[in-house]
Structures are given as C-alpha cells and as structure tokens.
Amino acid sequence: MMEFSFSFLLNHPKYIPDSWLRYFRHYYFKYDRGIIQFDPESSIYNPELFYTLRPGRFTFGNREITNEYQVNELGMRDNAESLDNPEIVILGDSHTMGWGIDQHKTFPALIEANIGAKVLNAGMSSYGTVREIKALDKIDLSQTQYIIIQYCYNDHGENLHYIERDNMLEVSSEETLRQKKRSHSETINYYFLKHTLLFFGILGDKLFERLRATQTINEDNNDSQELPAATTKALPVDDAKAFLNVLMNAPKLEAVPQIIITHLDRQLNDHFIYKLRQLLKQEPYRDLAPKISLIDFSEVLLKTDYFILDDHLNEGGHGKVAAGLEKAISNNLPTEQIKIYTQSDFHQEHDSSGWDFNESYMGDQCYFSLDANTLWGPGYKMNLTKKMIDSGYTTLSVKYDYHGLSTNAGMLVIDIAEEENHLWIGEPMDKKLYTSEENKWHTTCHVIPLKKRDEIENMHDANMHIYFWNNKKKSFKLNNIEITLRKPDINIYNFDWRYR
C-alpha cells in the first residue's frame, strides 16, 4: 500500500502536500528522473560537444511529461530548414531545448511563429555556455541579427573549467558517455519496493536540511562532470565573470549585431543579470556592452510557470518567455533609456545637454551628494511622443542607489508637459527605501505606469522631466541612476540604449 501511494503521488504530483514536496523532488531528481542525454535512444556521442540529440524523431518523457522530438542533422531540436541562414539563434540548455514541452510550443518556436523570422533552437540539455557557443561553429551566421543566450546556474561549472584549461574546451571520451548511460539506467530502473525503501531513507537522514540545496537540481547536477576532471585549484571567478569570459573568447559572435541574455532557473532572482549589468560598465567588458541586452524575468516568472516535480518551465512559462523576448526583438522604436552610473561617468561619457544639476554638489566624489543647501538633485529631460505611448512605451522606471537615512529622503518628481499643460507625478523616496541604516548603500526602483492617465492619452509631443527634489533639505547620496521608459511587465536592460 505504501509503495502504491508513493507511485500514485509521483504520477500525480498535484496531490503531494506542500510540506512533502521537497522530499519528493529530491527522490525524483536523484533516483527517478530520466535524463535525455543519458537515454540511449535519445542522444549520441559527439567528439566536439560530448553528445547531441539523436537526429531524426523519438519520444522522451518523465513523470509529468512525454513529448516527441524532431531533431536536425546537427543534433538540435529543430527542423533542417532552420539551419539555413537563421535570423535568430537561441542558445541555452534544457529550458531552451523545451524539456517537457511539445516542439511547437517551446519559446523559440513561439517567437518564430509570432514575429515571422527564421529562428534556430540550438538549446541542448545540460550544455554550459562554452558548449553552447562551440555549437555555433557549424552554423552560418551571416544573416543572423540576434543571438539569444539563456543562462542557467549550473553553466558555471563548465565555464570555470574552461578558464582553468586556458580557455580551451576539453571533452570526455565516448566510453565515458557509455558509462554514464549505464550508471544512469541502473539508478532510475525500478525494483520491488524501490519508492518505499529509498523514500524512507531520505526521511531518515538526520541531515535532511541539506536537501534544501537540491530543490532546484537541474538535469545535470554538475555540468563539469561531463568534462575531463578539473584540478582542485580554487578559482576566484564568479558566475557573471566566467560567463563574460566565454563571450570574450568567442570570435563567432563578433559579426552578430545583437546578443540578448536572460536567466530562467526555477529559484529565479536577478542577481546574475544585476552582476552582468555592473560588469559591463567596467574594463575589460565595456566593449561588449553596446551589443548586449539583458532581460530580467525574475518578476515575471512565477512558481506556477514551472512543473511541480520537475524544475523546468511549463507551457505557460514558455509563453511568457517568448512574449518578453519578442518585445526586445521585434520593436523598432527607439528605447528611451538613460543610465548615469556615477558622477565621473556623467562627465566622461554623457552629453549633459539633457541634464539639470547643481555643480556645487559634484565635487571629487564618485556619486551625487545632496545636503541642506542643495534643493535639486540630478534630473533628465526626454521626449514623449504619441507614437511611443500608442506603441506600448507606458512604464517609467527610475532605479538608483541611495545612501542615508530613509527619513532623510526627498521626492522623485516627474513633470510631463505639452505647451501649457502639465502633469505632475511625485513619489516620496522614503516609501521605497524601508531602511534605517545610514551607512549603507541601498538599491531601489520606482515603477510608474503612465498609460491609464487621461492627460497622457491626450498628449501628442510632450517633454518629460524627471528629477530628484530635496524637499526636506537633508543630506543623502545618489549613485547608479537608471531612467528607463519601457513596455510593462518585463525589465529589459539594453546597453545600446535602444531596441534593434
């Protein structure tokens, strides 16, 4: 009876109590889930990439999923026509490949259907960034306008291994793949009372708290296990730096006009995207910045956009990702996006014609400093046209770093004016800060919808003035100011200042 109960819940995970779900996920990931690259009918050895999908058609499934795969001659889950001068190439791991999703409902397929461009889905289960880029060697990119790279947290092992090997990709032998397939088959094969014995073993582990770290195990617990063993030398390189190192050593990317980067793990946050944004302001990565757009889905993808047991995007999640990427690809309007990182950047890199500021608070510091004698902080003027509003550019976001007590904060003021008509919007900065720590920098963001304001609807060619007002005449500091006029629902950070 116990074995039957476990089997029923594994096959119908919607009935698993929330308090038990992490244990079922641990069992599923470690002892039950089939891995496509280790399935003999689904993958073949590749001396340059370790494996690819098996060309042709096959069916692969797990507890919650069963899907047919159509695979082209390069071992990618797409048709042969997509290899012929694709306009968009999407790189990534099993999320991009469409684990658990019918082929025509994956986000690469949805993008192709919705915008009419030829899209190649080059996603491959468990590939890190190094192999994703390596797979481009056999693809003609002469007509490619966009490469989209979907990052996953477990890409980091492969990317670190690449650095340790002096930016060389080393691939394990065919015999290693055969051994992994045998070992995997032995692990997931069912035997009498398997669920009961192993599940109670998990529950009996006195160190069960360690299981929390496995709640989001992806299809490859450690990508570097698929590559020759690395040395134990510690590498003080974080995930964002290791990722950008791969891009900097990829000459195939140089001719591609735009690169879009996003991140889709189940336990999603914007830390990776945030770190990339910061690094792209610095040497030696600054030269990459003009062609890179970063898309943050951390406020868009919800738990319900993933399977219950499995940690991959479900059909709804793929739809959201497709919609977000389409916004970055298909809109030809300029994006009004202004970034002033520090006071020194302001002087060195930006035309100050649109900026209002008081020179008295711009001394030798690398930030903007306001005090009781400074009424107005930095501000920016931008044009707001009827075409931009009608095309969906209806969300203003102002992001900045703040240093000082929140009770000392001033006011963010937006003045939208056309001739004699003015729309004033004011947001107290302290309502966004929630901090009493005076000696730390805090990042905050105001998101202001404009679409539903009647005054905006009736304007045709307005000027929008955004600025900081020290109405309380207190002392505080500002840094890393970013002003973005964008479409709602998704954060798109484009370092070229405009959509292509």
89-113: pLDDT as tens digits: 999 999 999 999 999 999 999 999 8
Residue 478 pLDDT exceeds 70: yes
CA atoms within 13 A on the CB side of 290: 4
C-beta of residue 151 within 8 angstroms of C-beta of residue 238 = no
Which has more pLDDT, 289 or 377? 289
Q: Is the pLDDT of residue 163 over 50?
A: yes
Model-level pTM? Answer: 0.67
Q: Is residue 452 predicted with pLDDT exceeding 70?
A: no
Question: What local confidence, expressed as pLDDT, does residue 488 receive?
Answer: 58
For residues 442 and 433, what is the distance between their CA atoms, to the nearest angstrom?
Answer: 7
- Between 118-127, 166-175, 354-363, 476-485, the lowest mean confidence (pLDDT) is in 354-363
Please answer whether residues 359 and 413 qualify as being in contact, where contact means their C-beta atoms are separated by less than 8 angstroms: no
Secondary structure of residue 173 in the 3-state scheme = coil
Q: What pLDDT does 206 receive?
A: 45
The string of pLDDT tens digits covering residues 31-50 is 999 999 999 999 999 999 99
Short-list 53, 64, 80, 56, CA closest to 13: 64
Task: Flag whether pLDDT at 337 surpasses 70.
Answer: no
Residue 47, number of CB atoms within 10 A of its CB: 9
Confidence at residue 1, expressed as pLDDT on a 0 to 100 scale: 79
pLDDT value at 344 more than 80: no
Q: What's the pLDDT tens digit per position in 365-374?
A: 567 888 888 8
Q: Which residue has the higher pLDDT, 318 or 427?
A: 318
Averaged pLDDT, 143-172: 94
User: What average pLDDT does the structure give for the chain?
Assistant: 81
Q: Is 493 helix (H, G, I), strand (E, B) or coil?
A: strand
High-pLDDT (> 90) share of the chain, %: 47
Task: Tell me what the mean pLDDT of segment 282-290 comes to.
Answer: 91
* pLDDT of res. 398: 82
- How far is residue 292's CA from residue 308's CA, in Å, rounded to a whole number? 33
Distance CA 323, CA 180 (A): 37
Q: How many CB atoms lie within 10 A of CB 317?
A: 23
Interior angle at CA 168, CA 166 and CA 170, nearest 5:
125
- The count of other CB atoms within 10 Å of the CB of residue 22 is 16
Strand, helix or coil at 499?
A: coil
**Would you say how long the chain is, in residues?**
500
Phi, psi of 479 (to 5 degrees): -155, 160
Provide mean pLDDT across the span 416-435. 76
Closest alpha carbon to 369 in 479, 483, 480, 481: 479
Neighbours of 365 (CB within 10 A): 13
Q: State CA 328 to chain mean position distance.
A: 13
What is the model's pLDDT at position 433?
56
CA distance 338 to 330: 21
pLDDT at 355: 47
The pair of structure tokens assigned to 189 is 């094969």
Instruction: Give me the residue label for tokens 């610095």.
Output: 282
Contact between 50 and 173 under an 8 Å Cβ cutoff? The reply is: no
Domains, the chain, ordered by start? 8-330 (3.40.50.1110), 337-490 (2.60.120)
- Decide if 256 contacts 147 (C-beta within 8 A): yes
Whole-number pLDDT of residue 437 = 55
pLDDT-based confidence at 424, cuts 50/70/90?
Answer: confident
Could you tell me the maximum CA-CA distance found in the chain, to the nearest angstrom?
81
Residue 167: band (very low, low, confident or very high) from pLDDT cuts 50, 70, 90: very high
**419 is written with which tokens?**
């001739």
Q: Which residues contact 2 (CB under 8 A, 6 or more apart)?
A: 196
Instruction: State how beta strands 146-151 and 258-263 pair.
Output: parallel
pLDDT tens sequence across 112-126: 988 888 999 999 999
CA distance 304 to 313: 9
The answer to whether the bond into 488 is cis (omega within 30° of 0) is no
- Which of 308-322, 425-439, 468-482 has the weakest average pLDDT? 425-439
pLDDT of residue 296: 86
